[in-house]
Chains A and B, each alone.
Chain A
Amino acid sequence: MTTVHDGEPGAVTTTASRPRPRRAHPLLVFLAKRLTITAGLLLGVTVVTFALVNVVPGDPVTANLSDQALNDPATVAAFREKWGLDQPLWAQYFQYLGNLLTGDLGISQQTGRSVLDDLVRYVPATMELAIPTMVLALLIGTGIGMLAAVRNGRFTDQLVRVGALLGLSTPPFWLSLVVLYVFFYKLGLAPSGGRLSTAFSPPPTVTGMYTVDAALAGQWDVAWDAAQHLVLPVLVLTSLTVALLVRFVRSAMLEVLQQDYIRAAYAKGLPARVVLRRHLLRAGLVPVVTVSGLAFASLLSGTVLVESIFGWPGLGQYAYRSATALDLPSILGVSLFVALVYTLVNLTVDLLYGLIDPRIRLS
């Protein structure tokens, strides 16, 4: 890194020319640090969920066996043995941890499949909702937030703020029902739920996302049908995520707008659209990236409720069904997966920071 000093003209010192010990690239050090923290966090997550489901009064046996089976001691014992419930807690935990390292997340007591299989089955469905939602929400949220900031205090701004407030205050499950009522029941414009109409069978699995897989297989009618099923849940999730983003983007952009460098850009005679697109957006992107991690978490929360209403066989519905059935391996699997995704998102956010802001990249 070169630092140019003032004082006598031409004084340039280059620290790189000075001999110094070999060190790993700062980005690698940063990555290694972050990954260590992530691993520690995930370990903590397994402890929390495991403890939660074992220490508390709920009993997986009573939650999973029928009353009739509960009256038969042999059945109960067999169930306990099958799921390792007769072992001491710490042994169950370490056994689980050991299995984790080999990718074995256990068998879901509910579905009878391995939890990993379940995740592979349900995660793509949720991703099919989450990815378009996130893309749309970021585009719309940034655009509207910026517009509101530029029109600070005027009618457009008031309108955006009221809209964002409404979005933040609306229960997602209720909004889903309202949207279903209007677009499915009243207008008949969209299907009521599920991922595909009964007339179609799922396309050959590549990504697990029906729209993508159908397009890859050239089954355009299937892709179209799958896309139609996406519209309403994505609409609900997007509007909630946008509401969250807009408030952040607006206040972040307002802060940027008061900076001298924005006034300086205007003072150079640049047209307003150049100032807004190049100078404002660039600086405002940093907080937008920060909040997008948060927005993603809220989106995952939203899927639990939205999926249960739209009959969407995704992670949210799976989590809900596992939780109500006290299905220990599944809950652990989902929690672990969600925590993994969330920490990875945060890691990405940190890395993106560096890409956007040279002060972080180069220091």
Chain B
Amino acid sequence: MAPLLDVDSLAVTLPGPRGPLPILHDVSLTVDEGELVGIAGESGCGKSLTAQTLLGLLPPGATVSGSARFAGTDLLGLDQRGWQRVRGAGIAMVFQDPTAALHPMLTIGRQLTEHMRVHLRMDRRAANRRAVELLDQVRIPDPERALRSYPHQFSGGMRQRAAIAIALAARPRLLIADEPTTALDVTVQAGILALLDRLRAETGLAVAFITHDLGVLSALTTRGYVFYAGRVVETGPTGELLTAPTHPYTAALLGARPHGTQAVGTLRPIPGGPPAPGQAPPGCPFQPRCGYAEPACGTSPPPLTPAGEHRSVACVVRPHLEVAAR
């Protein structure tokens, strides 16, 4: 069966002050029906821009090449009306900061039902009924009252639950969650993650989960993509990515991630920062920060090549990597 979302060699450039800036290079990824897929990487590596591309929300002047097919539709060939049909009803999005993503001056009910009425052609009463069900589904107490509330009357976690309900309102088949827990308290994060997993199980929803925290992936996703400087550098089943990374960057990300059982002293920050768009070195983008770099790394960006079953990695060195056991 063809995957629900099939992105192939996607490249995006944005207009910059001194000419176009290439942001995404040769990004390929797939999401199957009912699958939870993780997309990880440092901030500014192109994760969010991928999401924006898939919703047709790129800023004016952006150029896109490659292909992106969703449920048989060629996304990149869509016109304005076509995009309106896909957004919300086909692909929906949950933003990082629910406080910023909810309109402060419209009631939750209004924000929940307005696109239902467009996509599902419901009248006000039917839409309100479904809104109550949705709020119930995301475990917001007293849904009738919540419909009449404004976002500022909710706590942060509740706002994100409401935002998820809004994203689900028009029955999308793919939900892109862009760091949906980053702006929330640690204690609230787990609840949101569990909610997403339950929704996937109950409704067959596919979820693309964007995060900068590899650890979040392990709890949730079956497959993961690691992004660096606008490229996919490694992909595979989440469990294997976390325990046996083959790309030095993935390993470094794991090393840089604090977790409870590890002593503070063993936390290894990755030296330097990712290159700014347009400033990447000619070869492997991670090479300047990589402890395993060889002369061959500096010639051209290594392509993503198969490395075992269901796995690919973009590294010519493929050093033997060890990850602290947990």
Contact = CB atoms under 8 A, between A and B. Distances in A.
Interface in B73-123: 80, 83-89, 92-93, 95, 97, 100-106, 114-115, 118-119
Given A267-B93, A268-B114, A9 B101 contact: no
Contact of B105 (A4, A265, A269, A358): A358
B290 interface: no
Given A4-B153, A267-B93, A362-B153, A279 B103 contact: yes
B321 to A, nearest CB: 37
B244 interface: no
A158 to B, nearest CB: 15
A357 interface: yes
A356 B104 CA distance: 10
Contacts of B88: 267-270
Contact of B103 (A2, A271, A282): A282
B142 to A, nearest CB: 6
Interface string B105-145: 11000000011001100000000000000000001111001
B146 interface: yes
Nearest to B188: A6
Contacts of A265: 103
Contacts of B150: 358-359, 362
Nearest to B152: A359
Contacts of B161: 6
Interface residues of A, number: 35
Contacts of A4: 140-142, 146, 149, 153-155, 158
Given A269-B118, A270-B114, A278-B106, A12 B142 contact: yes
A259 B100 contact: yes
B155 A3 contact: yes
A271 B119 CA distance: 11
B242 interface: no
B22 to A, nearest CB: 22
A117 to B, nearest CB: 45
B142 A268 contact: no
Contacts, number: 118
A283 B158 contact: no
Contacts of A2: 145, 149, 153
Interface in A9-24: 9-12
A268 B104 contact: no
A270 B80 CA distance: 11
A37 B59 CA distance: 47
B57 A263 contact: yes
Interface string B148-185: 01101111111001010011011000000000000000
B65 to A, nearest CB: 23
A5 interface: yes
B104 A357 contact: yes
Contacts of B156: 6
Contacts of B12: none
B92 A260 contact: no
Interface string A232-274: 0000000000000000000000000001110111111111101
A268 B115 contact: yes
Contact of A270 (B92, B100, B115): B115
10 contacts: A6-B188, A7-B157, A266-B55, A267-B93, A268-B92, A268-B114, A269-B118, A270-B88, A274-B114, A282-B106
The 6 A-B residue pairs with the shortest CB-CB distance in the complex, in nearest-first order: A6-B157, A269-B88, A269-B87, A260-B100, A268-B115, A268-B88
Given A265-B103, A268-B167, A269-B89, 16 more contacts: A1-B153, A2-B153, A4-B141, A4-B153, A10-B141, A260-B97, A263-B101, A268-B88, A268-B92, A268-B114, A268-B166, A269-B119, A270-B84, A282-B103, A283-B105, A359-B105
Interface of A: 1-7, 9-12, 259-261, 263-272, 274, 278-279, 282-283, 356-359, 362-363
